[in-house]
A and B are shown apart, each in its own frame.
Chain A
Amino acid sequence: MINTRVDYTLIAQMITPHARVLDLGCGTGDLLQLLKTTRHTQGVGVEIDEDAIGACIEKGLTVVHGDIDTELVDYSTHRFDYVILHESIQEVLHPKKVILESLRVGKKVIVGIPNFCHLTGRSQVFFLGNVPVTDELPHQWYDTPNLRFLSLNDFRAFCQREGITIEQQAALSGDRRIWLFPNLFAHVGIFVLSKK
């Protein structure tokens, strides 16, 4: 079964056919499988969870058991056309280091981030005085894999500060593309990055 999640399809459209792809935090490999089938990519995944690795290898994918924070140093410069960090950067210990290392290992880096400053979250902060717990961000503060909390604006500011070029960006709320005020209305932002 090919996964047809809109964010996956969007990422697939951003990738050139036959590209070499490294997916950091590839989970059960649905995105890598989609890319392999529709874009004929040569993909490698990095994943920390044993059962997810089992699922990847069952799909015929190549995956290394490892930690995003320490895995990248082994790869030579521009070894991949794309390094993907989709819904994983908020879970790493050293996001800046990982993104900069990804920009060394990959010619381009695709980062997908959850938007912690979506309208629903903001209202919860403002009206309820709670740290947001929403359908998209379902975790309580005491039981969350997320270590980093950022908005689409925060991410853009980071790129500007680090001299990273945002080549393409897209914002999503569920299955819908968000064109107006994405930092308020989008749940997910996807960025294609490069660095001279």
Chain B
Amino acid sequence: MIGPGKAFDTNHYFVICSNVIGGCKGSTGPSSINPKTKKPYGLSFPVVTIKDMVNAQKKLIDHLGIIKLLAVAGGSMGGMQVLKWSVLYPESVNSAVVIATNTGHNAQQIAFHEVGRQAIMSDPLWNNGDYYDQTAPTTGMALARMIGHITYMSSESMEQKFGRQLIDKEHVGFDFSQDFQVESYLRSRGDSFVQRFDANSYLYISKALDYFNLTDEQSLVEVFEGVTTSFLILTFSSDWLYPTHQLKDLIKALKINDIEVSSCEIRSSFGHDSFLIDNDMQTKLIRSFLKKITEERSA
């Protein structure tokens, strides 16, 4: 998606991509060292919200001396950040590319997250978030990731990829060993995630998503009053975690506020993961939209 000749064409655009606060790959998070105690923050790290993430990004572009961004773009949690950007700093955002997301986490989305969090927190090695000098709660983490991964796929994509295929055996074992390919796939996804992610970061970020709700204080129509950003809203036909109909109210609120909005539900069988997989239509739509915004800016 990002690179020379791609949707976010680095021959034309300067792309800024920062890690979110609360994460574990750059910006400060629970695994970072607290300068006061010289130890990792653990659960003493403050709870973060999508708004905090956006405020940190705003500080970054202020630091870089950027007054107005051509576009803010993101999918899933990134899409929530885009929405928050457009209502917090409308004067800094020319256009917004909102992909596979929701205007507020709903009960089903929170429920899946809660199961993931409980998987981590019920692992004795989690130790109330204080595990940085011992073994990490990898069993709980892997389990949380397995649950998450199921919500990112679709029934159709799982059927295509695995069906009922068995792993290295002719018949099912009728015991509790691994039989099906989908089982070993989920386990390997869980195990590889443990290597690259921090359990506490998982808890903080999943909470940030659950706390996200644009309509806490105002209706969606009121939230977007005065916003002049142009929107491109993309969803995917097989995404049951963030389905198209959840963004109908957003599109309606934008229309009522006379805000320019284009939208498209893209056919894809890969579930929520669709936006991460190379998709010609997604590439074409984003590329054309950015081109239009650039031309309007220079007109």
Residues in A lying within 8 Å of B, measured CB to CB: 44, 50, 53-54, 56-66, 74-76, 79
Which chain A residue has the least Cβ–Cβ distance from B251? A64
A74 to B289, CA, bound (A): 23
Partner of B288, one of A58, A65, A66, A75: A58
Q: Is B62 an interface residue (CB 8 A)?
A: no
CA–CA, A61 and B295, complex, Å: 12
Taking CB atoms, residues of chain A closer than 8 Å to B251 are 64, 74
Extra contacts, 12 of them, besides A62-B260, A74-B255 (Cβ < 8 A), are: A53-B262, A53-B264, A54-B281, A57-B264, A57-B284, A57-B292, A58-B288, A60-B292, A64-B263, A66-B263, A74-B256, A75-B255
Q: Count residues of chain B with CB under 8 A from any CB of chain A.
A: 23
Q: Which of A56, A59, A65, A79 neighbours the largest number of chain B CB atoms within 10 Å of its CB?
A: A65
Kindly supply a per-residue 1/0 record for chain B positions 263-298, scoring 1 wherever the CB is within 8 Å of any chain A CB and 0 otherwise. 111110000000000000100110011011001000
* Residues of chain B with a CB closer than 8 A to A59's CB: 288
**Chain A: minimal CB distance from B238 (Å):** 13
> B residues within 8 A CB of A62?
230, 260-262
Min CB–CB distance A101 → chain B (angstroms): 14
Question: Are A57 and B265 in contact (CB-based, < 8 A)?
Answer: no
**Are B267 and A50 interface neighbours, CB within 8 A?**
yes
Whether A64 pairs with B262 at a CB distance below 8 angstroms is yes
Contacts of A75 in B (CB 8 A): 255-256
Q: How far is the CA of A76 from the CA of B253 in the complex (A)?
A: 11
Is residue B39 contacting chain A, with contact meaning CB distance below 8 A? no
Q: Are B291 and A60 in contact (CB under 8 A)?
A: yes
Closest 8 CB pairs of A and B: A60-B292, A74-B252, A58-B288, A57-B288, A74-B255, A65-B264, A53-B264, A65-B263
Given contact pairs A60-B291, A62-B260, A65-B265, A50 touches B281 in the complex (Cβ within 8 A): yes
The residue on B at minimum CB distance from A70 is: B248
| Nearest A-chain residue to B281, judged by Cβ | A54
* CA gap between A53 and B235 in the complex, in Å: 13
A75 to B255, CA, bound (A): 6
B95 to chain A, nearest CB (A): 11
Give min CB distance, B157 to chain A, whole Å. Answer: 19
A57→B256 contact, CB < 8 A: no
Chain A residues, CB < 8 A from B281: 50, 54
Distance of A166 Cα from B141 Cα, bound (Å): 68
Please name all residues of chain B whose beta carbon is closer than 8 Å to the beta carbon of A44 when the two chains form the complex.
Answer: 260
Asked if A64 and B261 make an inter-chain contact with CB atoms under 8 angstroms apart, the answer reads yes
Is the beta-carbon distance between A58 and B284 smaller than 8 angstroms? Answer: yes
Give the Cβ gap from B255 to chain A, nearest Cβ, in Å. 5
**Given A60-B288, A60-B291, A60-B292, A54 and B260 contact (CB-CB distance below 8 Å):** no
Check A57 against B285 for contact (C-beta < 8 Å): yes
Given contacts A60-B292, A64-B261, contact A50 B255 (CB under 8 A): no
Q: Is the CB of A54 within 8 A of B262?
A: no
Report the separation of the CA atoms of residues A76 and B288 in the bound assembly, to the nearest whole angstrom.
Answer: 28
Can you list 17 residue pairs at the A/B interface with Cβ under 8 Å? A50-B267, A53-B262, A53-B285, A54-B284, A57-B232, A57-B262, A57-B284, A58-B288, A60-B288, A60-B295, A62-B261, A62-B262, A64-B251, A65-B264, A66-B263, A75-B255, A79-B258
B244 nearest CB neighbor, chain A only? A65
- Chain A residues whose CB sits within 8 angstroms of the CB of B288 once the complex forms: 57-60
Chain B 11-28 interface mask (CB, 8 Å, partner A; 1/0): 000000000000000000
In the docked arrangement, what's the CA distance between A54 and B288, Å?
Answer: 9
Q: Which residue of A lies closest to B289 (CB)?
A: A57
A160 to chain B, nearest CB (A): 32
Closest A residue to B293 using CB positions: A60
Q: Chain A residue with minimal CB distance to B253?
A: A74
Measured between beta carbons, the chain B residues less than 8 angstroms from A58 are 284, 288
Counting chain B CB atoms within 10 Å of each CB, the highest count among A58, A63, A75, A79 belongs to: A58
For the complex, give the distance between the alpha carbons of A65 and B285 in Å: 13
B residues less than 8 Å from A60 (CB atoms): 288, 291-292, 295
